[in-house]
Structure 1
Amino acid sequence: MLLFVSKRQATECLNMSGSTLKRYRRSGEWIEGLHWLRINSRCIRYNLELLKDWLHNREDPVAHGRAIAIDR
């Protein structure tokens, strides 16, 4: 089940600042529609489980790729 959460919830659960979340979005490190969604111009939601996996497997893109395949 996909669980998309608010910026506040993501910062708390991932122990990251809002500016760090924004940096990963803008850098292309996180993929729109997969790691995060733009609800409107002021509302972003984050795929919490996939971002937790990304943090855990940052150095192993193949493992994260498997999580992406399962998530879809």
Structure 2
Amino acid sequence: MTHFVDKREVSRYAKLSGTTLKRYRLQGVLIEGIHWVRLNSRCIRYNLDLIQDWLQNRHDPIAHQRAIEVYQANLLSNQKKTTRRSAKSQN
């Protein structure tokens, strides 16, 4: 399960200041929709799991890209949709 947390929580776990997080967002180091999401003009949440993975794999972008792909594959929008047969077709 993905954990989206506020700036204080990600700062505590990842040991990055709020200023550093903002700089990484503005520079595109942390990708919107992957590493962080904007809930409104003043509220940003960070994907704690992917930020921790990025910190661990900063020097191995291929490994981090695999983590991103796993995250994206597990999104509900990427799950196979099951179809139910109608009652008529089952009879």
TM-score normalized with structure 2 length: 0.77
For 2:11, the equivalent position in structure 1 comes to 11
Aligned length in residues? 72
* Aligned residues: CA RMSD: 0.5
| 1:1-20 Cα shifts (integer Å, max 9, x gaps) | 11100001011011111000
TM-score normalized with structure 1 length: 0.97
Structure 2 unmatched runs, 5+: 73-91
Which consecutive aligned stretches of 4+ in structure 1 deviate over 4 angstroms post-superposition?
A: none
Letter in 2 for 1:10: V
For 2:59, the equivalent position in structure 1 comes to 59
Structure 1 unmatched runs, 5+: none
* Percent of residue pairs bearing the same amino acid type: 58
- How far off is 1:61 after superposition? 0.4
**CA distance in structure 2 between the partners assigned to 1:10 and 1:30 by the alignment:** 13
For 2:33, the equivalent position in structure 1 comes to 33
Point out the structure with max Rg over C-alpha.
2
Letter in 1 for 2:28: G
Letter in 1 for 2:29: E
Matched residue of 2:21: which SS?
Answer: helix
- How far off is 1:35 after superposition? 0.3
**CA distance in structure 1 between the partners assigned to 2:64 and 2:6 by the alignment:** 22
